[in-house]
Structures are given as C-alpha cells and as structure tokens.
C-alpha cells in the first residue's frame, strides 16, 4: 500500500478482469478512488475467448474495497459514447473529481489476412479505436474542470510499435492508439494533462482463454517464419497484469510529471529490433 495517488480518482475501462482489474487494484492501493466500467457481456463474434461477466466486475469491486478505497461501477460498452459519458458523470458526482483516465478495454482476433471479414475489421477498430476515443472524450473535460492537471494513459500494445502477425485489424487499431495519444497530448498539454500510450507484449489474462490459443496456432501455421516476430530479450515471454499496472500507476503519478506524448513499451525488449 502506498500514497502516490492519494485523493485522486481514476476512470478505468475494461476493469472487470485482467489488466483493467490490475490497474484498478494497483491505483486503489496507492490511494485512488475508482470509476470502473466493463461490457460484462458478449463480445463481437470475431473474438475467440471468453467474455467478462458481472461477477468478474463484482470481484474487482471487492478487491478495490479491500484496500479501503471507493469504487463506482457501470456495465457499458465502450462503443456507447453516451453510456460512457453517463458512467463518468455518475462516478464524478459520487467521488467528487477526476484526475486519471486509463483507456484499457480492447479486443483481439487472430486471423490470417484473407480471412478477416469487413465485420471483423470494423468490430476490432470500433472497440479498440473508437472505444479508446470515447473514454478520453468522456473524461477529459472533467479533468480540465478540476484545474489540477492529470494523466491519461491509453493501453496500446507491442503491436502498436512493431506489429502482430495474423492480426492486421488489431495492429492497425493499436497503431491508431499510439498516434491518438500523441495528438491528445499536444492539445491537452496546456491544461497540464499528460497523455501517454503503454505497449505491453504478451500478458497472462483471460484474453488467452477459450479458442484463442487454437486460433493463434492455426493462423501461425499459415506462415511459420513469422512465429518469432516479438521475441523478448528478457527470460520471461509473458508478463502478469500487475507488471503492466506498475507502469500505468507510475504514469498516473507525479513521478512521471515531465513525461507526455510517449509510447512506453513494457514488452521485455521485443519491439526493440
């Protein structure tokens, strides 16, 4: 437990499990109250892994409250602009302010290039790009209104720096988030709001459940020479959600007060070549 975020409020998308839950618990442990949202239901048809549930979000609530902090939750799809604004409005009304946005929600769908349908491409772009934009738009004015500055962290991917084989739509969406962070940073900087993107490599989350491993393997068989595009330098191939949350919390804190418009890789070196 620490005090790096004492008195602050963070809005986190995709908070029911995985990285989103880890961000919420880490920030609560550093003193922040949390506004948490998740779709908690069926994901687009192209997604091969299990969906989050309301019970998953309840567990996030339990873990945050265990730290002694408050949390306000909403079940809402990040593609729903008005729903996102309502969730933030309700959270700020209850918790009193907003200082941090973590646009974490996203989906992935392993598919060989000529198996991607227009519907799949649109769904991945809508959730990952439009959903991220919605998160910033839902909360940025609240941070400005507070007059204290703040931090916005957009969760991209190693695919947003390099690329991810067999995920053209995912790669395109994560590159878009990288650019979005820099563009928001330029315009929000005058309000002392910093905007950065975080780029994890493989992370052990529920995104690896269901049919995801089988689909990754099947796609890889179409072009085996691409299998090691993201080979890490460090011994571990996979990070834990808490490893990414450490970096996100640092970017939310005053310790990174001079850092904005940066793409921060947390990928064991895999995008460095």
Q: Residue 201's pLDDT is what?
A: 96
CA angle 186–190–196, rounded 5-degree value: 45
81 is catalytic: no
The answer to whether residue 229 scores a pLDDT higher than 90 is no
Instruction: Give pLDDT tens digits for 33-88.
Output: 999 999 999 999 999 999 999 999 999 999 999 999 999 999 999 999 999 999 99
Closest CA to 23 of 259, 255, 250: 250
Do the beta carbons of residue 263 and residue 160 sit within 8 Å? Answer: yes
Instruction: Give pLDDT tens digits for 84-137.
Output: 999 999 999 999 999 999 999 999 999 999 999 999 999 999 999 999 999 999
Domains of the chain: 9-266 (3.40.50.720)
The answer to whether residue 266 scores a pLDDT higher than 90 is yes
The Cα 139–Cα 237 span in angstroms is 34
Q: Residue 1's pLDDT is what?
A: 80
The Cα 158–Cα 199 span in angstroms is 5
SS3 letters across 140-205:
HHHHHHHCCCEEEEEECCHHHCCCCCCCHHHHHHHHHHHHHHHHHHHHHHHHCEEEEEEEECCECC
DSSP structure class, residue 126: I
Report the DSSP pairing between strands 33-38 and 150-155: unpaired
CA angle 51–74–27, rounded 5-degree value: 90
């Amino acid at each position: 437990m620490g005090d790096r975020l004492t008195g602050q409020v963070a809005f986190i998308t995709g908070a029911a499990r995985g990285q989103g839950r880890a961000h919420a618990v880490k920030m609560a442990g550093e003193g922040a109250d949390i506004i948490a949202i998740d779709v908690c239901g069926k994901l687009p048809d192209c997604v091969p892994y299990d969906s989050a549930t309301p019970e998953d979000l309840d567990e996030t609530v339990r873990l945050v409250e265990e730290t002694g902090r408050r949390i306000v939750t909403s079940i809402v799809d990040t593609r729903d602009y008005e729903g996102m604004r309502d969730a933030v409005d309700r959270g700020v009304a209850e918790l009193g302010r907003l200082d941090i946005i973590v646009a974490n929600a996203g989906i992935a769908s392993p598919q060989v290039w000529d198996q991607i349908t227009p519907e799949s491409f649109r769904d991945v772009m809508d959730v990952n790009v439009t959903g991220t934009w919605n998160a910033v738009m839902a909360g940025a004015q609240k941070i400005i209104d507070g007059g204290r500055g703040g931090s916005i962290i957009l969760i991209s991917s190693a695919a947003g720096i390099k690329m991810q084989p067999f995920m053209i739509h995912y790669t395109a969406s994560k590159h878009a988030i990288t650019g979005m962070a820099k563009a928001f940073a330029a315009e929000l900087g005058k309000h002392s709001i910093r905007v950065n993107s975080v780029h994890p490599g493989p992370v052990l989350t529920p995104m690896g459940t269901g049919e995801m491993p089988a689909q990754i393997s099947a796609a890889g068989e179409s072009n085996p020479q691409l299998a090691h595009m993201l080979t890490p330098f460090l011994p571990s191939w996979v990070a834990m959600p808490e490893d990414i949350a450490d970096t996100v919390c640092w970017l939310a804190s005053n310790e990174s007060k001079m850092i904005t418009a940066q793409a921060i890789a947390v990928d064991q070196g895999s995008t460095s070549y």
